[in-house]
Amino acid sequence: MPPKRRSPAAAALVAGSPRKTRSMAAAGKRRAEAAPEKVVPVKKKKKEQEAVVAEPKGRKRGKKEAEAVALAAAEDGGVDALAAGKRVIVEACTQCKQFKIRAQKVKGDLESSVPGVSVIINPQKPRRGCLEIREEGGEVFISLLNMPRPFTPMKKLDMDEVIKDIAKKIS
């Protein structure tokens, strides 16, 4: 025998049960925090349309847009940044954390040893199996490309020696 149908009032009581899981509570917080406001475009004339201001939907889109804005600001102020000091770009593959460890080491050591140097890690999408350290728009200090696993050429490098050589070339 099939179960009895519930009245709409009884169904509303069941739907609003007092029981909450952690995921339900977190979802409620997210909705309350990130309620993006969207502006509906107002059409005056075909030639004069106002731009639509819409917040990014997801976390990744917002992060990518923020990075794009930061890159654009860096490029706009590129002349000022070059006048203030030199920029070194470290391109490190993202498939293995060994690349990230070495890139962070290069960044920390170069910025501490050479005054006025800014080190940028992966301003663009890096190539696969690549560790390259270069001056912005100039000299390539070290370039290891298309390395297959287990990345022996990179692991054989003495990073302290490489960083000292780069510091000498920059200053």
Contact 93, 99 (CB under 8 A): yes
From CA 107, how far away is CA 163, in angstroms rounded? Answer: 9
Exposed/middle/buried for residue 66 (C-beta within 10 Å: 0-12, 13-18, 19+)? exposed
pLDDT tens digits, 65-119: 655 555 555 555 444 444 457 899 999 999 889 999 999 999 999 999 988 899 9
The confidence band for 35, taking pLDDT boundaries of 50, 70 and 90, is low
pLDDT at 12: 54
pLDDT at 149: 85
What Rg do the C-alpha atoms of the chain give, in angstroms?
26
CA angle 82, 171, 71 (to 5 degrees): 30
